Chain A
Amino acid sequence: MEATVEGKTPTEDGTPTTSQGAGPFEPKIIAFVCNWCTYAAADLAGTSRIQYPPNVKIVRLMCSGAIDPIYVLRAITGGFDGVLIGGCHPGDCHYQTGNYKARRRVTILKEILKSVGYDEERVWLRWISASEGGAFAATVSEMVEALKSHGPNVLTTNWNK
């Protein structure tokens, strides 16, 4: 877990790379997804062979309401360029209300990030149901494009954090 959170992904020959590697900027995204919807959607996108950029690393949680904002903060200070949080559509939470709580938490977190001058548009909360494989692929593609225009995350290279 530490290696992932630190933003290091071993390449085939085992050397670590960061988003500041050679070549055009490829944003690195970590996706915290709900087991009951967005994770199933990602699975469906895969089994349906829908193409989407390989920039996303998926972490499955049992509910979007189980995402502690600390994970998001560790990700954006630890090498990722964007964080995608995927949950069930309002009213569809497997645990009744987890996604409503996630919505409040993400809203508070993003308002704090905005207030301290951080680009809060690097954090996305999206509702993607289990049947929406296409929507998952489209969301990832859209996010990769958006982050390319935002450029690399300043906190990746700044060590005074």
Chain B
Amino acid sequence: MKKRLKLDSNGHGMEEALGRLARLMISTGGVDRVFIPQHDETGEAVYATLVADVDALKDPAPLVPYINGNKGREAGLSTPKNGENKTAVFVRPCEARAIIELSKLMQAHRESMLLITSDCPGTLTLEDYKRLREEHPDHREEVAAFYAPFHGGERLEGHEVRECCTFCESLAHPMSDIRLLLVGAPEGTVVVEATSEAGERVLSKLEMEEAAEVDEAVREKFTEGQKSRHAEMEAHWDEVVHSVEDFMHLVQHCRRCYNCRAECPICYCRECVFQTATFEVTPDAFGRRADQYGVVKMPPDTLVFHLTRMNHMVTSCVSCGQCTEACPQKIPVGKIFSAVGRRVQDVFDYRAGADTADELPHAVFREDELEPR
């Protein structure tokens, strides 16, 4: 039986309750630091923060229905290698998946983290989030309104979450140390579940009420809905993409600004191949291409850009959809990479971000496999 504690908002909001949990973790010595989203002083913008002083954890926003970028990368960058300084990392499932992929790529240190993921109903685009805030100027009310239907496995009507969130397959990540269960929990409460021994050790230091069961049927129903939407997304890809021209049509407005790559938590290379001489087209080469085809497009190589980026990271694509958010041309990059990623990952029976024990398809091989080609 997994250890489950009940975290009651007591009328102060679930985020404040989670803030209290985070402060307790530091003050009881369970962790040294906490990585958690907080509001800035205006109460409008949200940033990931690394907190060492409990008094500096003033305005926690771990459930705000908007994320400004996948914080998996920042969590990796701000958590030192030695496992002695334990950091409690409050993230969403997509960010947890990114952390797991990044730790395999040696860009994050999972062992230094106490990974805490929450059930996530999906997040809004910045535009939509601002609209929600206009309806609920008080942040606590906004979170309460957004999450109220979620306890019953539904989403708030009239506020569409980002496209990639509609087919995200996991609630709180099963490979976390602690999971914050909202779906199937009574409204206004969070069920805090220890999922690993490390999580259990930290929770055992806290004096909190034991939780009643969460409604597993509601959780199951929500997850099934997400999975069927993922299958629909894959089927839709088959309907839309028959030839490479169809694919080129999908990415046709690309102007190679690299925003998708910059926002991708998996694209960690300091020197990206697209900004090296490999992809530099000299005036002479432009001239030769124009001579060959009669006309040359600028910027060039947008197709090769997407195919190469796929080739580099699609086996690790965690479908967070931040690339879609970043695209100024409204290309559904996240959906494209999710669809292709699933096909490629299937070849190796691999799921990006599922488990640190799974080996990266690009990094290993078997002597006896993939034959005949």
Contact = CB atoms under 8 A, between A and B. Distances in A.
Nearest to A100: B365
Contact of A104 (B242, B304, B361): B361
A62 B75 CA distance: 40
Interface string A111-128: 111111111000001000
A116 B292 contact: no
A70 B278 contact: yes
Contact of B288 (A8, A73, A107, A160): A8
Q: Is the interface of A mostly helix, strand, loop or mixed?
A: helix
A106 B311 CA distance: 10
Given A91-B367, A107-B370, A159-B295, A2 B340 contact: no
B362 A111 contact: no
A108 interface: yes
A70 B301 CA distance: 11
Nearest to A99: B365
A159 B297 contact: yes
Given A6-B292, A103-B365, A161 B304 contact: yes
A161 B297 contact: yes
B70 interface: no
Contacts of B347: 107-108, 111
A91 B367 CA distance: 8
Interface stretch (B160-168, B244-252, B262-270): B244-252
B214 to A, nearest CB: 38
B107 interface: no
B339 interface: yes
B304 A107 contact: no
Nearest to B339: A115
A56 to B, nearest CB: 19
Given A97-B365, A112-B314, A117-B246, A159 B296 contact: yes
B303 interface: yes
A135 interface: no
Interface stretch (A38-46, A141-149, A150-158): A150-158
Most buried by B among A3, A6, A109, A116: A116
25 contacts: A2-B282, A16-B291, A16-B292, A70-B273, A73-B307, A91-B367, A97-B365, A100-B367, A103-B365, A104-B361, A104-B365, A107-B370, A114-B343, A116-B244, A117-B242, A117-B244, A117-B245, A118-B243, A119-B244, A125-B373, A157-B293, A159-B293, A160-B297, A161-B248, A161-B302
Interface of A: 2-3, 6-8, 16, 18, 69-70, 73-74, 77, 79, 90-91, 97, 100-101, 103-109, 111-119, 125, 154-155, 157-161
- Shortest Cβ-Cβ A-B pairs, 7 listed: A116-B247, A100-B365, A118-B244, A161-B303, A115-B340, A117-B243, A117-B241
